[in-house]
Structure 1
Amino acid sequence: MSDSIEPWVREILRCPVGRHELVDRLNGAGEPVLECAEDCGGPGQRRQFPITEGIPVLLESDATTVTR
């Protein structure tokens, strides 16, 4: 999914809000995103951060909250 992100960078990326590990996912439109590996924002909620042109956008204002 986010193969263009260097492995050493992937190891250190964290959610800027909850400091959780981020995992690769696809959003509802089938686009790659990074998603919190743990609840973030409330029980059963996870933040998804867009990947724009291979660059993760880790801004809380650009995150989408999904229910898992």
Structure 2
Amino acid sequence: MKLDPSLLTILACPACHASLREDREAEELVCTGCGLAYPVRDDIPVLLIDEARRGAPDGETA
């Protein structure tokens, strides 16, 4: 997964508007607020709520 670091500074979760963090292993962007995990396909973030999977917010265990 190759994302421009400056891209993460402007992207936000479409559901709750919190910031996103990279999960390189899972190839996802994970919301630091609500915990939704958005897939990254061919290095393009898919920020559609219907495409996201439910995860745990930062600081919580799944």
Count of residue pairs the alignment pairs up? 57
Query: Deviation digits for residues 10-67 of structure 1, max 9, x if unmatched?
Result: 21010001001000125xxx431100112x1xxxxx1000000111000000000023
| Identical positions, percent | 28
Consecutive unaligned residues of structure 2, counting only runs of 5 or more, are none
Q: Is the 8 A contact 2:39 2:51 kept in 1?
A: yes
| Higher percent of residues as strand | 1
CA RMSD of aligned residues (A): 1.5
31, 35, 39: which one pairs with 2:26? Answer: 31
Deviation >3 Å, runs of 4+: none
TM-score (norm 2): 0.78
51, 58, 61: which one pairs with 2:47? Answer: 58
Q: Point out the structure with max Rg over C-alpha.
A: 1
TM-score (norm 1): 0.72
| Aligned-partner residue type, residue 10 of structure 2 | I
The whole-number CA distance in structure 2 between the counterparts of 1:15 and 1:36 is 6
